[in-house]
Protein backbone atom coordinates (compact mmCIF):
# COMPACT_ATOMS: atom_id res chain seq x y z
CA UNK A 1 0.00 0.00 0.00
CA UNK A 2 1.27 3.47 -0.86
CA UNK A 3 0.35 6.52 1.13
CA UNK A 4 1.63 10.05 1.30
CA UNK A 5 4.38 10.79 3.77
CA UNK A 6 8.10 11.25 4.01
CA UNK A 7 8.84 8.87 1.12
CA UNK A 8 9.91 5.34 0.35
CA UNK A 9 13.26 3.71 0.93
CA UNK A 10 14.73 0.38 1.94
CA UNK A 11 16.66 -2.31 0.20
CA UNK A 12 14.05 -3.46 -2.32
CA UNK A 13 11.69 -0.85 -3.75
CA UNK A 14 14.23 1.85 -4.72
CA UNK A 15 16.49 -0.78 -6.31
CA UNK A 16 13.54 -2.33 -8.15
CA UNK A 17 12.37 1.09 -9.35
CA UNK A 18 15.83 1.89 -10.78
CA UNK A 19 16.01 -1.53 -12.46
CA UNK A 20 12.52 -1.08 -13.92
CA UNK A 21 13.48 2.35 -15.26
CA UNK A 22 16.57 0.88 -16.92
CA UNK A 23 14.46 -1.91 -18.46
CA UNK A 24 11.99 0.64 -19.82
CA UNK A 25 14.81 2.73 -21.26
CA UNK A 26 16.51 -0.36 -22.77
CA UNK A 27 13.39 -1.14 -24.81
CA UNK A 28 12.75 2.55 -25.50
CA UNK A 29 9.52 2.80 -23.50
CA UNK A 30 8.48 5.96 -21.69
CA UNK A 31 9.45 6.08 -18.01
CA UNK A 32 7.86 9.47 -17.32
CA UNK A 33 5.48 8.22 -14.61
CA UNK A 34 8.23 6.31 -12.81
CA UNK A 35 10.55 9.31 -13.13
CA UNK A 36 7.88 11.48 -11.52
CA UNK A 37 7.44 9.07 -8.61
CA UNK A 38 11.17 8.98 -7.98
CA UNK A 39 11.45 12.79 -8.22
CA UNK A 40 8.62 13.33 -5.73
CA UNK A 41 10.26 10.86 -3.36
CA UNK A 42 13.57 12.71 -3.57
CA UNK A 43 11.82 16.07 -3.20
CA UNK A 44 10.24 15.00 0.10
CA UNK A 45 13.69 14.49 1.64
CA UNK A 46 14.91 17.85 0.30
CA UNK A 47 11.76 19.54 1.58
CA UNK A 48 12.39 18.12 5.05
CA UNK A 49 16.03 19.19 5.05
CA UNK A 50 15.08 22.70 3.98
CA UNK A 51 12.46 23.02 6.70
CA UNK A 52 14.49 21.47 9.52
CA UNK A 53 17.71 23.31 8.73
CA UNK A 54 16.17 26.67 9.60
CA UNK A 55 14.20 25.73 12.70
CA UNK A 56 15.74 26.75 16.03
CA UNK A 57 17.29 24.37 18.53
CA UNK A 58 18.10 20.68 18.76
CA UNK A 59 16.19 18.29 16.52
CA UNK A 60 15.11 14.81 17.52
CA UNK A 61 14.87 12.56 14.48
CA UNK A 62 12.31 10.02 15.65
CA UNK A 63 12.71 6.94 13.51
CA UNK A 64 15.84 6.30 11.44
CA UNK A 65 14.91 3.08 9.63
CA UNK A 66 13.26 3.12 6.22
CA UNK A 67 9.93 2.05 7.75
CA UNK A 68 8.49 0.92 11.06
CA UNK A 69 9.01 -2.57 12.52
CA UNK A 70 12.45 -3.11 10.97
CA UNK A 71 16.08 -2.41 11.79
CA UNK A 72 17.03 -1.68 8.17
CA UNK A 73 18.53 1.77 7.55
CA UNK A 74 19.73 1.28 3.96
CA UNK A 75 18.20 3.92 1.68
CA UNK A 76 16.23 5.33 4.59
CA UNK A 77 14.85 8.80 3.93
CA UNK A 78 15.27 9.57 7.64
CA UNK A 79 18.93 8.56 7.59
CA UNK A 80 19.65 10.67 4.49
CA UNK A 81 17.93 13.66 6.08
CA UNK A 82 19.92 13.21 9.31
CA UNK A 83 23.19 12.92 7.36
CA UNK A 84 22.42 16.12 5.45
CA UNK A 85 21.51 18.03 8.63
CA UNK A 86 24.31 16.79 10.90
CA UNK A 87 26.91 19.38 9.76
CA UNK A 88 24.49 22.22 10.58
CA UNK A 89 22.25 21.07 13.41
CA UNK A 90 22.55 19.27 16.71
CA UNK A 91 20.60 16.05 16.27
CA UNK A 92 19.29 13.44 18.67
CA UNK A 93 18.38 10.12 17.07
CA UNK A 94 15.86 7.65 18.45
CA UNK A 95 14.48 4.53 16.81
CA UNK A 96 13.02 1.46 18.55
CA UNK A 97 15.05 -1.01 16.46
CA UNK A 98 17.40 0.76 14.06
CA UNK A 99 19.93 2.61 16.21
CA UNK A 100 22.56 -0.12 16.18
CA UNK A 101 22.66 -0.10 12.37
CA UNK A 102 22.43 3.70 12.20
CA UNK A 103 25.46 4.09 14.50
CA UNK A 104 27.55 2.30 11.85
CA UNK A 105 26.84 5.01 9.27
CA UNK A 106 25.83 8.16 11.19
CA UNK A 107 27.88 9.93 13.84
CA UNK A 108 25.27 11.60 16.02
CA UNK A 109 23.89 11.65 19.54
CA UNK A 110 21.53 8.74 20.21
CA UNK A 111 18.83 8.83 22.90
CA UNK A 112 18.29 5.81 25.12
CA UNK A 113 14.53 6.26 25.07
CA UNK A 114 11.73 8.10 23.33
CA UNK A 115 11.23 10.20 26.47
CA UNK A 116 14.90 11.27 26.44
CA UNK A 117 14.74 12.19 22.74
CA UNK A 118 11.67 14.34 23.32
CA UNK A 119 12.94 16.00 26.49
CA UNK A 120 16.25 17.14 24.97
CA UNK A 121 14.96 18.62 21.70
CA UNK A 122 13.13 21.74 20.62
CA UNK A 123 12.00 20.17 17.31
CA UNK A 124 10.50 16.69 17.00
CA UNK A 125 10.73 15.24 13.50
CA UNK A 126 8.65 12.05 13.22
CA UNK A 127 10.44 10.46 10.27
CA UNK A 128 8.96 6.95 10.68
CA UNK A 129 5.49 5.83 11.76
CA UNK A 130 6.50 3.68 14.71
CA UNK A 131 3.39 2.55 16.67
CA UNK A 132 5.23 3.47 19.89
CA UNK A 133 5.02 7.14 18.90
CA UNK A 134 1.22 7.08 18.93
CA UNK A 135 1.26 6.53 22.71
CA UNK A 136 2.53 10.08 23.22
CA UNK A 137 0.13 12.48 24.89
CA UNK A 138 -0.49 16.05 23.75
CA UNK A 139 1.31 17.38 26.84
CA UNK A 140 4.47 15.53 25.71
CA UNK A 141 4.63 18.06 22.86
CA UNK A 142 4.38 21.15 25.08
CA UNK A 143 6.93 23.77 24.00
CA UNK A 144 8.02 21.66 20.98
CA UNK A 145 7.72 22.12 17.25
CA UNK A 146 6.28 18.89 15.85
CA UNK A 147 7.03 17.98 12.23
CA UNK A 148 4.82 15.06 11.16
CA UNK A 149 5.21 13.93 7.54
CA UNK A 150 2.82 11.01 8.13
CA UNK A 151 0.06 13.01 9.84
CA UNK A 152 0.12 10.58 12.79
CA UNK A 153 -1.05 13.30 15.17
CA UNK A 154 -3.60 15.01 12.93
CA UNK A 155 -6.56 16.21 14.94
CA UNK A 156 -4.60 16.34 18.21
CA UNK A 157 -4.25 19.60 20.14
CA UNK A 158 -0.58 20.35 19.43
CA UNK A 159 0.21 24.07 19.37
CA UNK A 160 3.14 24.04 16.91
CA UNK A 161 2.26 21.23 14.54
CA UNK A 162 3.42 20.94 10.93
CA UNK A 163 1.97 17.96 9.05
CA UNK A 164 2.87 17.27 5.43
CA UNK A 165 0.15 17.27 2.82
CA UNK A 166 -1.75 19.98 4.62
CA UNK A 167 -2.10 23.65 3.81
CA UNK A 168 -3.53 24.43 7.23
CA UNK A 169 -1.30 24.05 10.29
CA UNK A 170 -3.08 23.14 13.49
Of 12, 15, 40, 105, which is the active-site residue?
A: 12
Burial class from Cβ neighbours inside 10 Å (0-12, 13-18, 19+) for residue 167 reads: exposed
Q: Is 12 a catalytic residue?
A: yes
- Show which residues are catalytic: 12
Amino acid sequence: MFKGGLGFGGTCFPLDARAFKKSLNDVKLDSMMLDGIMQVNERQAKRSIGLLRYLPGKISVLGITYKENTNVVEESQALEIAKALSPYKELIIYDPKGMRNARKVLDAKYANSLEEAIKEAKVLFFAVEWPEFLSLKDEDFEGKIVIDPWRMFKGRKIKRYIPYGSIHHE
